[in-house]
Amino acid sequence: MAKVRAKDIVEKFGLELVSGEEGLHRPIVTSDISRPGLEMAGYFNYYPAERIQLLGKTELSFLEKLDDSQRKSRMDQLCTDITPGIIISRDMDIPQELVEASTRNDVPVMKTPMKTTRFSSRLTNYLESKLAPTTAIHGVLVDIYGVGVLITGKSGVGKSETALELVKRGHRLVADDCVEIRQEDTDTLVGSSPELIEHLLEIRGLGIINVMTLFGAGAVRSYKRITLCIDLELWDKTKQYDRLGLEEEKMRIIDTDITRLTVPVRPGRNLAVIIEVAAMNFRLKRMGVNAAEQFTNRLSDVIDEGDQEDF
């Protein structure tokens, strides 16, 4: 099912539909936008017909200098059966040849009062967001001191209960149980909740609770960039857990690597406080303060001093 259609752009940016209404449901498959300058001059060898075509003052002023047959030919070639739409900026007059070609080929032609460059930027940002690669992960996403923390682990390990305690401590819930993640850039993952379970938490023994109703609008948010993953697992006494924090484990989601910490779960451990401190420590590391490295350096200095005294 198509994520974005020409109809969505008309509604999002308040565009005026001039012709080609039958093509409003054509899918848009790429966030790239084409300004067909060379095509206006007749060079269609590498015409990116699958893109939204944006015509500004430059393209239309050149088109006016062509004779009638050339204008008709260029507009017919511009309106293909896969072109999702043609947008005219600055509310400029639309050539009659373009209206006729769009009607014949069911290519929607739209107008906007915005300047060409500004509209191109806004449309590109919108399409990149909508057409970004997506996936879904079983877990909980919480905003802790501005850090998007994805809490993962096997079912029943205590993810939702930990999220509830974090919300009580003043942090904000983004998603519980299922986190929808889209990759908006090569290093940017944004998580959100499916609409059906937005603002809801499932607590075994209590059932489903509405976090926004119980704790207020300040306890939830719609989306958050994910920068840290906390993986909860039942304590395994045969496993060696990291006690210094010198090595950073990574987790790959789509094409982006994020830091992952493994936190063992056992009775008596306050997971909410541990995750809260992990988020604060992660922020400190990004600011250049690494407690583990500082301790290791001090330990090395003490060992070196001891070796010198032996001599």
Helix (H) or strand (E) holding 148: strand 147-153
The structure tokens listed for 2 are: 């198509």
**Residue 14 Ramachandran class (φ > 0 left, ψ -120 to 50 alpha, else beta):** left
Whole-model pTM: value is 0.75
Q: Which residue ranges make up each domain of the chain?
A: 6-130, 134-295
> CB within 8 A of 37, min separation 6: which ones?
58, 59, 62
Say which CATH topology domain 6-130 has. 3.40.1390
pLDDT at residue 307, rounded to an integer: 63
Q: What is the greatest pairwise CA distance in the chain?
A: 97
> CB within 8 A of 269, min separation 6: which ones?
none
pLDDT at residue 275, rounded to an integer: 94
Say which CATH topology domain 134-295 has. Rossmann fold (3.40.50)
- Tell me whether domains 6-130 and 134-295 share a fold: no
Residues 104 and 20: their CA atoms lie apart, in Å, by 8
Residues 282 and 261: their CA atoms lie apart, in Å, by 10
Residues of the chain with pLDDT under 50: 1
Binding site feature residues for Mg(2+): 160, 202
Report which DSSP code applies to 19.
E
Helix (H) or strand (E) holding 59: helix 57-64
**Residues carrying an active site annotation:** 138, 159, 177, 243
pLDDT at residue 1, rounded to an integer: 45
The SS3 of residue 64 is helix
Q: Give the up-direction half-sphere exposure of residue 126: CA atoms within 13 A in the CB hemisphere.
A: 18
Residue at 278: amino acid letter: A
Binding site feature residues: 153-160, 202
Binding site feature residues for ATP: 153-160
Kindly report, residue by residue over 264-306, the tens digit of the pLDDT.
888 878 899 999 999 999 998 888 877 777 777 787 778 777 6
Residue at 218: amino acid letter: G
Residues 294 and 210: their CA atoms lie apart, in Å, by 43
pLDDT at residue 235, rounded to an integer: 84
Q: Phi then psi for 129, rounded to 5 degrees?
A: -70, -45
CA dihedral of 161, 162, 165, 166, whole degrees rounded to 10 = -140
Report whether 18 contacts 100 (CB < 8 A): no
